[in-house]
Amino acid sequence: MNEQDFLADYDPRAYPAVAVTVDVVALTIRDASLHLLLIRRAEQPYAGHWALPGGFVRPDEDLTDAARRELAEETGLGGERLRRVHLEQLASYGAPDRDPRMRVVSVAHLAFAPDLPDPAAGTDAAEAAWVPVAGLTARPLAFDHGRIVDDALERARSKLEYTPLATRFLATEFTIGDLRAVYETVWGHPVHAGNFHRKVLSVPGFVEGTGTSTERGGARGGPRARLYRAGDARLLHPALLRPAREETAR
């Protein structure tokens, strides 16, 4: 039976219900390590476990709008600051048994946020916090959220290669060193400072100079660094490729 035949004589109330939710993997960098926004579940199943923020898609809402709303609710963010957060669709997860209560298809999203204040405690019934990604292996997330986070991290690492979205983790003005710290944190390995510096400046539209410099040098010494803004490029040519990993190639 085809979609159109099916829809033509389809009675929504008679069909097994499917719920559509959005979940958000919101990443940020705090204290030089990668964090993501999680909420702690109060109810069964998975009571006490951490889970991704998310919720039902409302009747008149597009998918990404729903994700942005959920993000706003959990972070207390709004207006200009919310608009600066990068948000994109990641993938959909719909294994029949992924939620023990009913059939739930979740459209997962990926967000890159600058360093934000802690979620205001008490705005919501659930506890929400920025949690270090590194500590996640110890405590498994609710549902299939661990798998979703894995996919999100791989997407994030890949996005830094060929888009200028690393700047979305930073304030509007940043130094090349700040930008390099984003790459090192997300990729999880050091990046050569000198080569990175030259490379970033050579890619058209990645960053543009402000003409100003930092007020002070680095905390442990060094000259004042020039400040840059995000440029107008949407893709990086040439890309900043991670070193090839043989395991993933085969």
Partner DNA sequence: AGAATAGTGTCTCTAAGACACTATACT
Partner DNA sequence: AGTATAGTGTCTTAGAGACACTATTCT
**Catalytic positions, written as ranges:** 127
Q: How far is CA 182 from CA 73, 152, 177, 215, 241, in A?
A: 26, 16, 9, 21, 14
Q: Name the binder of 221 from DNA, a second copy, none, CB < 5-8 A by kind.
A: DNA
Contacts of 96 (CB under 8 A, 6+ apart): 103
The CA distance from 227 to 51, in Å, is 37
> Which of the residues 223 through 242 are near a second copy (CB under 8 A)?
232-238
# of chain residues touching a second copy (CB under 8 A): 64
- What does DSSP assign to residue 134? G
Rg (alpha carbons) of the chain, rounded to whole number:
21
**Residue from 33, 83, 92, 120 binding a second copy (CB under 8 A):** 92
Q: How far is the CB of 73 from DNA (least distance, A)?
A: 36
Q: Does 241 bind DNA (CB under 7 A)?
A: yes
Stretch that binds a second copy, among 60-68, 132-140, 193-201, 207-215 (CB under 8 A): 60-68
**Residue from 69, 81, 103, 226 binding a second copy (CB under 8 A):** 103
Q: How far is the CB of 135 from a second copy (least distance, A)?
A: 22
**Residue from 15, 32, 138, 221 binding a second copy (CB under 8 A):** 15
> Toward a second copy, which CB reaches closer, 114 or 187?
187
Strand partners, 110: 25, 88
Beta carbons within 10 angstroms of residue 29's beta carbon = 22
Q: How far is the CB of 48 from DNA (least distance, A)?
A: 39
Contacts of 184 (CB under 8 A, 6+ apart): 190, 191
The CA distance from 150 to 127, in Å, is 22
Q: Does 248 bind a second copy (CB under 8 A)?
A: yes
Strand partners, 30: 33
Q: Does 107 bind a second copy (CB under 8 A)?
A: yes
# of chain residues touching DNA (CB under 7 A): 29
**In the Cβ-directed half-sphere of 5, how many Cα atoms lie within 13 Å?**
2
Q: How far is the CB of 250 from a second copy (least distance, A)?
A: 6
